[in-house]
Each structure stands twice: as structure tokens, then as C-alpha cells.
Amino acid sequence: MARRPRSGVLVLAALAAALAVYTLVQSPRASADDAPAASPLLAAPAFLGMENKEVHNTVVAAFPGAMKGSTVMSTLLSTVKAYGLKKSNTIYGQSICSDEINGDKGHLPTVLTKYFGTSFFLGGIGGAPYVGKTGFGAFAAHVPDDGHVVLVFGPHIGISPQGEPGKFLRDGQSELSTSCGAAIAAYSQCTSGTPMKPDELDMEQSWLREKLGPRCEELAESSNLMVDLVLEAYKEVEAEVFRIVNTNFGSGNLVLLGGIQINMPYPLPGYWVPLHFSIRAAGKHPADLMVAFQ
């Protein structure tokens, strides 16, 4: 085989290097405050087996509007950018159930914490903001000068590998466990026929039981109990968030994103159902931003 002249090889190498440099220069550069690109809306992931695709379809049917955590984050960040929010001038907090599976890879609280670098925890079991007005005040006091506050809140529900809501197969366990166990326990306690008084050693569960109690008779008639239970729990969490938040922290905006965290069976990523999205500031009427998810 005839050898290519050495000078020709050098010319080709130089052209390739020049092309690489040109491509690098022309590529858009992302700043530290750029929001991650939005992922496509939910379709059953192609790599999954038929069983997991059926689980996916079952969950999306039960929770219309469910999206991957990364998609929700991208929509959130791109929407609030117009109001001046960026990573460098915003603090992030969450009122999500303290169950460790809510920190799984791909879940909305996880990806937002990674994006902002840290988070302030306002929630306990069930996702209610048990830190109260004092806790929110402490969180908001940490806002950068003339900066903004983002708060994500809501309960969660696990999904079994067979698509059963309210159940979850955790790593290292061979049997299903409840999720959210606290909300399910509160329902069971309210329908047991045995009155239970508030317990100072179990204050968070006492709160859940008190709030869900008036709804349990109606829930007992539900044909889709676990789904309806988490939706009722969301209403209580949302109402409590509205009671404790304020815009007294400065001139910036308060962004509220409420919804339901869905713990999908592995290897599916966590889903989120947006139910409330708004922005407010001192002296201004709140603006409803839910259209961003429609």
C-alpha cells in the first residue's frame, strides 16, 4: 500500500484541529445561572420492560400532569427567570416528607438541592411545614440582599413494582412498605373507632391525624383510597404553607411550588405532580404561574 506523503498528513491534521476550535468557539456557553434544559414530557422510557411501562401508564392516569423531576425543575427555573431569579440570588427550601426515598436520584427535591447547592428543610412526616412561622422566618432571613426565595412543598406517595399506590419496595428489603406511612397510619387511626388524643411525643403524627380526621369518613368510600388520601393530605399541607409564609424578607420574590412527590419503583425516576405554582412579593398581588405546566 502506498504511503500518504507526510506533508499531506500534516495538512489534514491542521484542518481537523482548526475545525475543532471553530466548533468550540461557536458552541453556546452556559453560565452558572443558566437553567438546565427541559426534558421531554413524560412518555414511558424506552429502556424499560413492559411491566414498568404499564406501571408508568397507570401512574400517569391516576395523576394527570405527572412529570419527571428534572422536567419540573427546568420549567420552574425558566419561568421565574423573567422575574429576576437566578442561582446566585436565590435560596431554596423544601417542605417534603422526611422519608429518605424523597432524596432519591432524579426526585425534584434532589435535583433542586443539587442545582442551588443546599436547601432549608421545613417539613417533617407527611410534608407539612412543622417549623411554623419561626422556621419560615429563619429560612427567609437567609436570602441574599435583594434576593429571592423558592419553596417547594407537598406530601409523597410510593408506587410498588406492580403499580400499587401507597406501597414501595425499598433497597435491601424483600417486602413492600407503606409510603407515605404517616398519612396511611393517620387514616387508619382515624377509622379505627378508638379516639386518640394529641401526643406531645408524637406531635407531627398528631397534626396529620387531626387534619385528616374530618376527611376520613368520605375517604372510606373511595374506590382509589391511596390516591385520594394523598390528594387530601396535599390540601392540608398547602393550607399550612399559606398560613406561615410571608414576603417580609425584602424586595425580592417568593416562589411557591406545591405538588405531590411520586416515588416510582426502581429504575424509574421520581415523578412530581404540580398542583400550585405562584410568585408573590411585598406590596404585589400573587401571580398564578400554573400555565407553565399546562
Position 26 in a domain: no
Q: Under DSSP, is residue 174 helix (H, G, I), strand (E, B) or coil?
A: coil
Q: Is the CB of residue 154 less than 8 Å from the CB of residue 274?
A: no
Computed from CA positions of residues 72, 73, 74, 79, in that sequence, does the dihedral angle turn out positive or negative? positive
Distance between CA 255 and CA 249 in Å, rounded?
13
Which pLDDT score is estimated for 52?
Answer: 73
Q: 0.95 exceeded by the pTM? A: no
How many distinct helices (H) and strands (E) make up the chain?
Answer: 9, 10
Distance between CA 84 and CA 259 in Å, rounded?
23
- Which residues sit opposite 178 in a β-bridge? 167
Position 229 in a domain: no
Which pLDDT score is estimated for 270?
Answer: 94
Position 44 in a domain: no
Q: Is the CB of residue 255 less than 8 Å from the CB of residue 85?
A: yes
Q: Are strands 271-281 and 90-96 parallel, antiparallel or unpaired?
A: unpaired
E strand segments, the chain: 67-68, 90-96, 120-121, 148-154, 156-158, 167-168, 177-178, 253-263, 271-281, 287-288
Distance between CA 238 and CA 220 in Å, rounded?
22
Distance between CA 231 and CA 218 in Å, rounded?
13
State the amino acid at position 46 in one-letter form. A
Range of the domain at 247: 53-166+234-293
Q: 3-state SS of 243-258?
A: HHCCCCCCCCEEEEEE
pLDDT in tens, the chain (294 residues): 444 444 444 444 444 444 443 444 344 444 556 656 544 445 444 444 556 788 889 899 999 999 999 999 999 999 999 999 999 999 999 999 999 999 999 999 999 999 999 999 999 999 999 999 999 999 999 999 999 999 999 999 999 999 999 999 999 999 999 999 899 999 999 999 888 998 999 999 999 999 999 999 999 999 999 999 999 999 999 999 999 999 999 999 999 999 999 999 998 899 999 999 999 999 999 999 999 999
What's the grid cell of residue 218? 368520605
Q: Is the CB of residue 233 less than 8 Å from the CB of residue 127?
A: yes
Position 30 in a domain: no
Position 45 in a domain: no
Number of domains in the chain: 1
Position 197 in a domain: no
Position 178 in a domain: no
Longest CA pairwise span in the chain (Å): 94
Which pLDDT score is estimated for 56?
Answer: 87
Which pLDDT score is estimated for 27?
Answer: 43
Which pLDDT score is estimated for 259?
Answer: 98
Q: Is the CB of residue 96 less than 8 Å from the CB of residue 109?
A: yes
In this predicted model, what pLDDT tens digit does every residue of 204-250 receive, in sequence order? 999 999 999 999 999 999 999 999 999 999 999 999 999 999 999 99
Position 162 in a domain: yes
Q: Under DSSP, is residue 88 helix (H, G, I), strand (E, B) or coil?
A: helix
Whether the ω angle into residue 267 lies within 30 degrees of 0, i.e. cis, is yes
Q: Nearest to residue 113, comparing CAs of 150, 140, 67?
A: 150
Which pLDDT score is estimated for 120?
Answer: 98
